[in-house]
Structure 1
Amino acid sequence: MALRGGTRFAVRCEDVFPAGCALVPESLGEVEDYDEKTGRRTPAKDKVTGQRVWQVRVMDLDPELGKRSRETTVKISADYQPVPPTGTPFEAVEFDGMTVTPYVTNNGRMAYSLRATGMRAPVGVTRDPSLAAA
């Protein structure tokens, strides 16, 4: 069986972020495609689903990372802009419908991109902080 470039492999959020992840404030935005011929930017569309593409930066909370970079980007395919669960800075999130796409960079290193179909508060986390005390 041959795999084509751009193959997406389904993964669980807890496998990618075993200690969880937190949104980087003000990092959620729409991805744009750039047309070099016209110099125009247009909203990016997912090549598989045809949906608009949004991206968000997250901090991996895994303590085993030590001093290594903790920030990564997750692209979300959705018809409408995803909304962070609480809107608080550095809030914990989980992603639904995650996939990973491995690729080789120009300098020959292995890398991967992360995609999801949505984001939500982690299981067991209450949306309204005032309800947590009840």
Structure 2
Amino acid sequence: MLQSDDPDELSCGLESLRYLSRIGHARASFNLAVAYLRGHGVAADAAMAAYFMLRSARQGYGGAYEPLARMIINGDLIESKGLLPQARHFVARVWYFRALCDGVARPDAAARIPYSAMYMAMGPVRYH
């Protein structure tokens, strides 16, 4: 539906993706993010793209982890706009680490993650 040149069909496809995103379909949220990034059927909006990319990542879609990390570093995500650059990089590295753990990261992503971010992403470790 999103490949169509018919505006009604495109609108219907976007509404379907919005509904699916609301009920928890991570891939639908990812596709909405891409639509907002490219301005396909909607006005291009980096903040909305970042919102849906974050939703997709939180819903567990591994393909959203790396793009979300880049959006956080760029400050496209509303929640990351007020953070210092170092804090944005730290949060982004946690998403890069998740992408590595899920096996969806590019090979060079490992170089962007310091050990402190890895330990933070893993959470507390119990020694008993």
Query: What is the TM-score of this pair, normalised by structure 1?
Result: 0.21
Task: Give the structure, 1 or 2, with the largest relative contact order (CA under 8 Å, sep 6 or more).
Answer: 1
- Higher share of residues assigned helix: 2
- Higher share of residues assigned strand: 1
